[in-house]
Amino acid sequence: MEPVTAILPADLVPYASMILNITALLVFAPLTMMYLTWLERKIIGRMQDRYGPNRVGKFGLLQPIADGIKMLLKEDIVPAGADPVLHFLAPVIVVVTSLLTFAIIPFGDGMLPVDMNLGLFFFLAIGSVHTIPIFMAGWGSHNKFSLIGGLRAVAQIVSYEVPLAVSVLSVMLAAGSLSTLDIVKAQAGAHGLDWFVF
């Protein structure tokens, strides 16, 4: 197989790489979220002695696509007493920050959207931003029960951040770097199974 530089002119290679990275982000991130949700619904269904999603497609595998179409066609209703700006911005910020976490994940050799020296720190920082829109949604509803639910969710996320940071610290120490690319390279041993999870 010819290298990319032999197929494309040298000044177009960065743009082709950028398009490949963006395509990987826009395809991989939603597909991952869709089918992890499907898996969670199947597991919870079995725990509750029911089938879970099984109507659309074989084993319900097309259910996430049907749910996505349904979600896009739903009417956006803002409750009368709610703050319309916060009601709109909260889910937008959640989606944007979720997609930003994929920006530092290497999808393949030379397919890292953004190579940051502090990639792991960026991941933790962006992950902690999720507390803000959740609180915004609870506050913007002008409902005391939604506000209490939002505060409980924020407290839960904050309490999970400490063990997450401690577990990520061991990976950083083993790799000797905060860059996700360096962490992936540090796990590429002789047999390809020198993963830090082992």
How large a percentage of the chain has pLDDT more than 90?
Answer: 5
Residue 67 above 80 pLDDT? Answer: yes
| Amino acid making up residue 34 | M
pLDDT of residue 54: 81
Q: Which two tokens stand for residue 123?
A: 């991941």
CA angle 98, 100, 102 (to 5 degrees): 85
Give the number of other CB atoms < 10 A from CB of residue 180: 23
Residues 49-75, mean pLDDT to the nearest whole number: 85
For residues 58-79, one letter each, b for 16 or more C-beta atoms within 10 angstroms of the residue's C-beta and e for the rest, the string is eebeebbeebeeeeeeeeeeee
pLDDT of residue 5: 54
Residues 11-38, mean pLDDT to the nearest whole number: 81
> What confidence tens digit (pLDDT) does each residue in 104-131 have?
888 777 677 778 888 888 888 888 888 8
pTM for the structure as a whole: 0.67
pLDDT of residue 1: 47
Residues 58-68, mean pLDDT to the nearest whole number: 86
User: What are the CA-CA distances from residue 140 to residues 25, 86, 96, 156, 157 (Å)?
Assistant: 31, 5, 19, 20, 19
Q: Which region among 2-6, 71-75, 137-141 has the lowest average model confidence (pLDDT)?
A: 2-6
User: What are the CA-CA distances from residue 101 to residues 9, 13, 78, 97, 155 (Å)?
Assistant: 31, 24, 29, 7, 21
Please name the residues in contact with 21: beta carbons below 8 A apart, sequence gap of 6 or more. Answer: 107, 111, 112, 113
Residue 152 above 70 pLDDT? Answer: yes
Give the count of alpha carbons within 13 A of 169, CB side only.
6
In which residue are the tokens 């696509």 written?
Answer: 65
Largest CA distance in the chain: 63
User: What does pLDDT average to over the chain?
Assistant: 83
In which residue are the tokens 């725990």 written?
Answer: 47
pLDDT of residue 149: 92
pLDDT band at 191 (very low <50, low <70, confident <90, very high): low
pLDDT of residue 192: 61
Q: DSSP strand E in the chain: where? A: none
Element (H, E) at 183: helix 180-186
